[in-house]
Homo-oligomer: A and B are copies of this chain.
Amino acid sequence: MNRMIYSHEVCRWDVWEITIPGPTDGNPFTDFPVSGTFTGKNETVKADGFYDGEGIYRVRFMPSFEGSYHFRIQAPFLTEGAEGDFTVLPAREENHGPVRVANTFHFAYEDGSPYYSIGTTCYVWALQSDERIRETLESLKEARFNKIRFCIFPKHYAYNLGEPRSYPYEGTPMDGSVLTDENFMVFMGKTEGNHWDFTRFNPAHFRHLETCIRELERLGIEADLIVMHPYDRWGFSCMSAEQDDLYWNYVVARFSAFHNVWWSLANEHDLMFQKTQKDWERYAEILCSKDPYRHLRSIHNCFSFYDYNRPWVTHCSIQRQDLYKGAEYADLWRQKYQKPVVLDEIAYEGNLQYGWGNLSAEEMVRRFWETACRGGYPGHGETYRNPEGVLWWSHGGKLRGESWKRFGFLLDMMKETPGHGLAPYPMSWDCVCAVPESEPFIPVKSYYLVYFSFMQPSLREFHFDDSTDFEVEVIDTWNMTVEKRGTYRGRFQVELPGRAYMAVRLRKRPR
Interface of A toward B, CB cutoff 8 Å: 182, 323-325, 328, 351-356, 358-360, 363, 385, 428-431, 452, 454-461, 491, 493, 498-500
Q: Contacts A355-B429, A430-B355: A363 and B498 contacting too (C-beta < 8 A)?
A: no
Set of chain B residues within 8 Å of A493, measured between Cβ atoms = 353
A323 to chain B, nearest CB (A): 6
- The answer to whether A454 and B363 have CB atoms under 8 Å apart is yes
- The answer to whether A385 and B325 have CB atoms under 8 Å apart is no
Set of chain B residues within 8 Å of A352, measured between Cβ atoms = 457-458
Report the bound CA distance from A324 to B455 in whole Å. 10
- The answer to whether B324 and A459 have CB atoms under 8 Å apart is no
Interface of A is mostly: loop
- The answer to whether A456 and B500 have CB atoms under 8 Å apart is no
Which residue from chain B places its CB closest to the CB of A431 in the assembled complex? B355
Q: Contacts A430-B355, A431-B355, A498-B351: A458 and B385 contacting too (C-beta < 8 A)?
A: yes
**A-B pairs with beta carbons under 8 Å apart, 18 shown:** A323-B429, A323-B430, A324-B325, A324-B328, A325-B325, A352-B458, A353-B459, A353-B460, A353-B461, A353-B493, A354-B457, A358-B455, A358-B457, A359-B456, A360-B499, A360-B500, A385-B458, A385-B459
A301 to chain B, nearest CB (A): 15
Q: Contacts A360-B500, A430-B356, A500-B360: A458 and B351 contacting too (C-beta < 8 A)?
A: yes
- The answer to whether A360 and B454 have CB atoms under 8 Å apart is yes
Which of A323, A325, A359 gathers the greatest number of chain B CB atoms within 10 Å? Answer: A323
- The answer to whether B358 and A456 have CB atoms under 8 Å apart is yes
Set of chain B residues within 8 Å of A456, measured between Cβ atoms = 351, 358-360
- The answer to whether B455 and A355 have CB atoms under 8 Å apart is yes
Which of A353, A456, A457 gathers the greatest number of chain B CB atoms within 10 Å? Answer: A353
Report the bound CA distance from A360 to B182 in whole Å. 39
Set of chain B residues within 8 Å of A355, measured between Cβ atoms = 428-431, 455
A493 to chain B, nearest CB (A): 8
Set of chain B residues within 8 Å of A460, measured between Cβ atoms = 353
A sample of 19 more A-B contacts (CB under 8 A), given A323-B429, A324-B328, is A182-B491, A323-B430, A324-B324, A351-B456, A351-B458, A351-B498, A353-B458, A353-B459, A353-B460, A353-B461, A355-B428, A355-B430, A358-B455, A358-B457, A358-B498, A359-B454, A360-B500, A363-B454, A385-B458
Report the bound CA distance from A402 to B165 in whole Å. 52
Set of chain B residues within 8 Å of A325, measured between Cβ atoms = 324-325
Q: Contacts A323-B429, A325-B324, A430-B354: A455 and B359 contacting too (C-beta < 8 A)?
A: yes
Report the bound CA distance from A246 to B325 in whole Å. 47
A128 to chain B, nearest CB (A): 23
Which residue from chain B places its CB closest to the CB of A493 in the assembled complex? B353
Report the bound CA distance from A460 to B428 in whole Å. 39
Set of chain B residues within 8 Å of A358, measured between Cβ atoms = 452, 455-458, 498
7 shortest A-B CB distances, which residue pairs? A355-B430, A351-B458, A351-B498, A358-B455, A358-B457, A353-B457, A353-B460
A190 to chain B, nearest CB (A): 22
Which residue from chain B places its CB closest to the CB of A461 in the assembled complex? B353
Which of A324, A385, A452 gathers the greatest number of chain B CB atoms within 10 Å? Answer: A324
Report the bound CA distance from A385 to B456 in whole Å. 12
Set of chain B residues within 8 Å of A328, measured between Cβ atoms = 324
Report the bound CA distance from A459 to B352 in whole Å. 7
Which residue from chain B places its CB closest to the CB of A458 in the assembled complex? B351
Report the bound CA distance from A355 to B452 in whole Å. 9
Which residue from chain B places its CB closest to the CB of A498 in the assembled complex? B351
Report the bound CA distance from A320 to B355 in whole Å. 24
Set of chain B residues within 8 Å of A354, measured between Cβ atoms = 430, 457
Report the bound CA distance from A324 to B323 in whole Å. 12
Report the bound CA distance from A307 to B326 in whole Å. 29
Report the bound CA distance from A356 to B431 in whole Å. 11
A118 to chain B, nearest CB (A): 23
Set of chain B residues within 8 Å of A323, measured between Cβ atoms = 429-430
Which residue from chain B places its CB closest to the CB of A303 in the assembled complex? B429
A181 to chain B, nearest CB (A): 10
A391 to chain B, nearest CB (A): 12
A451 to chain B, nearest CB (A): 12
